């Protein structure tokens, strides 16, 4: 058995044997075959090359036999030269087949990886926001990386291993039986000597490998949490760098120790298989030599039989772990299919229409809303829990009714947790209502395409998210065909053009992860510039000025004036000026609109808004008066 065969066997036996007890979902295998359909021609070529390679590999020892028996022992130089040339030619052909096989295998494998990744990524992008609020980002990334890679091995590594090993074993056994049935039987008797140690050591290797993966995942999670800006800031402000370093060092040491164990057990397995192969070769040479001396076996036949041994035990040992290999790839495929099978709760209707270009009103018609059950929007495996609740959440909104006519501003005020952000999220159809209807331009948002709906709506949230790329790329995300003149016009209107012009790289400045190289007020103004570049008909401001200092808030307010001019807007208000300018104020408490009217009307009523004004807005009015 050669080193490469022993290496493949060692890797095979590191796989987790617990997958063999896993029950695959019905129809999994049939669905897997659908992914192979686009590559059926390449797969046919691939399998053909494997079979040809197995046959040519079995022919080589027969040429050795002929060289010795028909050439060397008979003193026939021409025979020796001719057969040696045949061996060389066979080696060239085998190498060419190997390269072609690798190319075809890579084409199939990488094609499958591309197909699966693209499908999973596109599918995840269609999931509702509730899905992302529950699932672990690392688990999703693992599906796109580890599980997709494992799934593609079903058609490359595992398929070639199964077909190749079966074909090689059949060809080798056939040739060996034709040369000497006695030695072939003796070789078969020795097979348990290879399989049993591989099973025993392999079981330990699988346990060690699983533990190493778990420890590496823990270490990776630590790095992910501590290396982002928020995590690094938390570590520094609490003064715990040394404690974090010590904890990481402990985990890294455990990974190191497991790595040493894994290396030792792998070497033990490979050494054991190599030693047994050497002993088997010695046995065949001894038995064959005795038969050759007795004249019942040719010398060339003995050499050929020993050459066949190296081609026999490797495939048989690998096939002994076949169930684990196959189930590992099938489970990876199932995990990918599990994500693809989770249907988005918010989806376009089959007959969804495009929202008309002039749609600019917003109407809530007796809207009720409760968050869906966790089992409807997520997967237990993506949350690292045993199971998900199947009971829907409590009702959050109750009988919300109001209308924002084109160009009007509706202000939402009320205590934290009252349901204001949920109301604004329903306008963009981040969730679907559980009762009543939300209409834009008179059209139920469930009847129009999500793309056309979101083209009509611009949103600025409390935490303006920026991608880790340039200012230009972040702005063009809203309108990819915008020119530089369009961008600068939006930046001017958002009160941030002077800052961008002062940067050494201007629009090509990289903002850093989540825009952390910018202040909160600067990020908010860039978010407003992005909204202005999009030029939506409807604007939703979800606490866009919360947690800003007075100077930043004033700059953002000036930018918002440009953003709101001539547009229908829903604003969760924290500024008195916003409330006073609103055409209608809705006081939301406990998921209900408890008061509505203009600023003056609600103050005169002396109800909930008047109390809110005294506690939240009067201080702003006093500060403004003193500043004047």
Give the C-alpha separation, 608 to 178, whole Å: 98
Give the C-alpha separation, 373 to 409, whole Å: 33
Domain co-membership, 450 together with 516: yes
Cα distance from N-terminal residue to C-terminal residue, the chain? 91
- Burial code of 69-106, b = ≥16 C-beta within 10 A, e = fewer? bebbeeeeeebbeebeeeeeeeeeebeebeeebeebbe
Burial class of residue 530 (count of CB atoms within 10 Å of its CB; 0-12, 13-18, 19+): buried
Mind listing the pLDDT tens digit for each residue in 545-576? 655 556 666 766 777 777 778 889 899 876 66
Per-residue model confidence (pLDDT) at position 448: 94
Say if strands 395-404 and 592-597 run parallel, antiparallel, or are unpaired.
unpaired
Domain co-membership, 102 together with 215: no
Domain co-membership, 400 together with 535: yes
Residue 156 sits in a domain whose CATH number is 1.20.1560.10
In a domain, 309, yes or no: no
Q: Residues 487, 480: contact at Cβ < 8 Å?
A: no
In a domain, 567, yes or no: yes
Give the C-alpha separation, 468 to 465, whole Å: 10
For the ranges 318-332, 466-480, 514-528, the maximum mean pLDDT occurs at 466-480
Chain centre to alpha carbon of residue 209: 22
Q: Is the pLDDT of residue 514 over 60?
A: yes
Q: Which of 179, 209, 225 is the last residue of a domain?
A: 179
Q: What backbone phi and psi angles, to 5 degrees, belong to 26?
A: -55, 140
Give the C-alpha separation, 330 to 32, whole Å: 8
DSSP string, 238-304: TT-HHHHHHHHHHHHHHHHHHHHHHHHHHHHHHHHHHHHHHHHHHHHHHHHHHHHHTTSS-HHHHHH
Residue 453 sits in a domain whose CATH number is 3.40.50.300
Q: Is the pLDDT of residue 370 over 80?
A: yes
Domain count, the chain: 3
| Six-digit token string for 62 | 């027969």
Give the C-alpha separation, 425 to 397, whole Å: 12
Three-class secondary structure of residue 612 per DSSP = helix
Give the C-alpha separation, 539 to 315, whole Å: 66
Domain co-membership, 433 together with 510: yes
Domain co-membership, 188 together with 272: yes
Give the C-alpha separation, 540 to 531, whole Å: 10
- Expressed as residue numbers, the domain containing 530 is 393-627
Altogether, the residues listed in the chain come to a count of: 628
Domain co-membership, 519 together with 420: yes
Per-residue model confidence (pLDDT) at position 18: 57
User: For the residues 45-49, what does the mean pLDDT come to?
Assistant: 90
Helix (H) or strand (E) holding 570: strand 568-572
User: For the residues 494-512, what does the mean pLDDT come to?
Assistant: 87
Domain co-membership, 150 together with 240: no
In a domain, 385, yes or no: no
Per-residue model confidence (pLDDT) at position 249: 84
- Residue indicated by tokens 């040339």: 85
Least confident segment among 193-197, 307-311, 531-535, 540-544: 193-197
Proportion of the chain in helix, strand, coil states, percent, rounded to 5: 65, 10, 25
In a domain, 256, yes or no: yes
Closest CA to 568 of 528, 538, 533: 538
Per-residue model confidence (pLDDT) at position 117: 86
Give the C-alpha separation, 487 to 493, whole Å: 10
Q: Is the pLDDT of residue 397 over 80?
A: yes
In a domain, 466, yes or no: yes
For the ranges 150-164, 549-563, 614-628, the maximum mean pLDDT occurs at 150-164
In a domain, 471, yes or no: yes
Q: Which of 179, 207, 224 is the last residue of a domain?
A: 179
Per-residue model confidence (pLDDT) at position 624: 53
Contacts of 466 (CB under 8 A, 6+ apart): 474, 511, 514, 515, 518, 523, 526, 527
**424 or 550, which is more confident?**
424
Contacts of 458 (CB under 8 A, 6+ apart): 478, 531, 534, 535, 536, 538, 539, 540, 563
Burial class of residue 233 (count of CB atoms within 10 Å of its CB; 0-12, 13-18, 19+): exposed
| Six-digit token string for 362 | 């917003």
- Residue indicated by tokens 């409330």: 579
Give 408's Cβ-side CA count (13 Å radius).
14
Q: Is the pLDDT of residue 509 over 60?
A: yes
In a domain, 510, yes or no: yes
Domain co-membership, 620 together with 484: yes
Per-residue model confidence (pLDDT) at position 92: 93
User: For the residues 593-603, what does the mean pLDDT come to?
Assistant: 91
Per-residue model confidence (pLDDT) at position 13: 54
In a domain, 307, yes or no: no
Three-class secondary structure of residue 491 per DSSP = helix
Domain co-membership, 290 together with 423: no
Packing angle of the helix pair 157-179, 181-189 (nearest 10 deg): 140
Domain co-membership, 43 together with 135: yes
User: For the residues 19-34, what does the mean pLDDT come to?
Assistant: 72
Closest CA to 268 of 11, 10, 1: 10
Q: Is the pLDDT of residue 142 over 80?
A: no
Q: Residues 177, 187: contact at Cβ < 8 Å?
A: no
Give the C-alpha separation, 620 to 625, whole Å: 9
Say if strands 395-404 and 538-542 run parallel, antiparallel, or are unpaired.
unpaired
Cα torsion 76, 79, 80, 84 to 10°: value is 180
Per-residue model confidence (pLDDT) at position 17: 58
Q: pLDDT-derived band of residue 444, with 50, 70 and 90 as boundaries? A: very high
Maximum Cα–Cα distance for the chain, whole Å?
Answer: 121
Give 34's Cβ-side CA count (13 Å radius).
8
Helix (H) or strand (E) holding 35: helix 28-36
Q: Which of 137, 162, 179 is the last residue of a domain?
A: 179
pTM: 0.77
Give the C-alpha separation, 423 to 459, whole Å: 13
User: For the residues 516-529, what does the mean pLDDT come to?
Assistant: 81
Domain co-membership, 116 together with 220: no
Contacts of 195 (CB under 8 A, 6+ apart): 316, 317, 320
Q: What backbone phi and psi angles, to 5 degrees, belong to 348?
A: -65, 140
Mind listing the pLDDT tens digit for each residue in 318-363? 777 666 677 777 777 778 888 888 888 888 999 999 999 899 999 9
Mind listing the pLDDT tens digit for each residue in 237-294? 666 778 878 888 888 888 888 888 878 877 877 787 778 778 888 888 888 888 888 8
Mind listing the pLDDT tens digit for each residue in 197-216? 777 776 777 777 767 767 77
Domain co-membership, 569 together with 586: yes
DSSP string, 356-413: PTT---EEEEEEEEEPPPHHHH--HHHHTSS----SPPPEEEEEEEEEE-TT-EEEEE
Per-residue model confidence (pLDDT) at position 386: 64
Q: Is the pLDDT of residue 598 over 80?
A: yes
Cα 519 to Cα 401, 462, 512, distances in angstroms: 37, 13, 12
Per-residue model confidence (pLDDT) at position 351: 92
- Our CA angle for 283, 289, 290, nearest 5°, is 95
């Amino acid at each position: 058995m050669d080193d490469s065969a022993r290496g493949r066997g060692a890797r095979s036996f590191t796989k987790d044997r617990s997958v063999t007890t896993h029950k695959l979902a019905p129809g999994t295998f049939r669905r897997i075959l659908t992914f192979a359909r686009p590559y059926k021609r390449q797969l046919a070529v691939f399998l053909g090359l494997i079979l040809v390679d197995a046959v040519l590999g079995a022919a080589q020892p027969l040429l050795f036999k002929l060289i010795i028996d028909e050439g060397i022992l008979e003193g026939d130089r021409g025979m020796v030269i001719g057969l040696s040339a045949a061996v060389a030619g066979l080696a060239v052909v085998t190498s060419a087949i190997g390269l072609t096989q690798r190319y075809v295998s890579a084409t199939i494998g990488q094609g499958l990886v591309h197909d699966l990744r693209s499908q999973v990524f596109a599918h995840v992008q269609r999931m509702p926001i509730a899905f992302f609020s529950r699932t672990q980002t690392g688990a999703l990334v693992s599906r796109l990386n580890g599980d997709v890679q494992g799934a593609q091995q079903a058609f490359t590594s595992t398929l070639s291993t199964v077909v190749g090993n079966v074909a090689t074993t059949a060809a080798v056994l056939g040739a060996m039986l034709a040369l000497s049935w006695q030695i072939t039987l003796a070789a078969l008797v020795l097979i348990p000597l290879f399989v049993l140690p591989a099973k025993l050591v392999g079981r330990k290797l699988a346990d060690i490998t699983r533990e190493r993966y778990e420890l590496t995942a823990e270490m990776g999670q630590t790095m992910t949490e501590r290396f982002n800006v928020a995590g690094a800031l938390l570590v520094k402000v609490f003064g715990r760098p040394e404690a974090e370093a010590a904890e990481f060092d402990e985990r890294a040491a455990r990974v190191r120790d497991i790595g040493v164990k894994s290396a030792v057990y792998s070497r033990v397995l490979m050494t054991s298989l190599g030693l047994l192969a050497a002993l088997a070769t010695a046995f065949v040479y001894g038995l064959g030599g005795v038969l050759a001396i007795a004249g019942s076996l040719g010398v060339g036949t003995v050499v050929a039989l020993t050459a066949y041994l190296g081609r026999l035990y490797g495939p048989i040992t690998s096939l002994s772990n076949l169930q684990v290999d196959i189930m590992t790839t099938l489970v990876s495929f199932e995990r990918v299919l599990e994500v693809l099978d989770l249907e988005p709760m918010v989806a376009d209707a089959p007959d969804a229409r495009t929202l008309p270009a002039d749609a600019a009103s917003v109407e809530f018609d007796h809207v009720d809303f409760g968050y869906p059950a966790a089992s409807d929007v997520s997967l237990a495996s993506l949350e690292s829990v045993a199971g998900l609740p199947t009971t829907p959440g409590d009702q959050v909104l109750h009988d919300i009714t109001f209308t924002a006519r084109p160009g009007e501003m509706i202000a939402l005020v009320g205590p934290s947790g009252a349901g204001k952000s949920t109301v604004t999220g329903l306008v963009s159809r981040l969730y679907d209502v559980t009762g009543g209807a939300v209409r834009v331009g008179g059209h139920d948002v469930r009847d129009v395409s999500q793309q056309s709906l979101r083209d009509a709506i611009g949103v600025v949230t409390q935490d303006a998210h920026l991608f880790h790329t340039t200012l230009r790329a972040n702005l063009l995300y809203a309108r990819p065909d915008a020119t530089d003149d369009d961008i600068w016009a939006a930046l001017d209107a958002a009160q941030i053009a002077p800052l961008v012009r002062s940067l050494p790289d201007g629009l090509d400045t990289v903002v850093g992860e989540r825009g952390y190289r910018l202040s909160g007020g600067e990020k908010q103004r860039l978010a407003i510039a992005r909204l202005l570049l999009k030029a939506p008909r409807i604007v939703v401001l979800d606490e866009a000025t919360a947690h800003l200092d007075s100077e930043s808030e004033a700059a953002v307010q000036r930018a918002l004036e440009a953003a709101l001019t001539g547009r229908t807007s829903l604003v969760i208000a924290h500024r008195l000026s916003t409330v006073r300018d609103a055409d209608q104020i809705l006081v939301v408490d406990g998921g209900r609109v408890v008061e509505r009217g203009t600023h003056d009307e609600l103050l005169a009523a002396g109800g909930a808004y008047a109390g809110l004004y005294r506690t939240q807005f009067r201080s702003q009015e006093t500060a403004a008066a003193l500043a004047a």
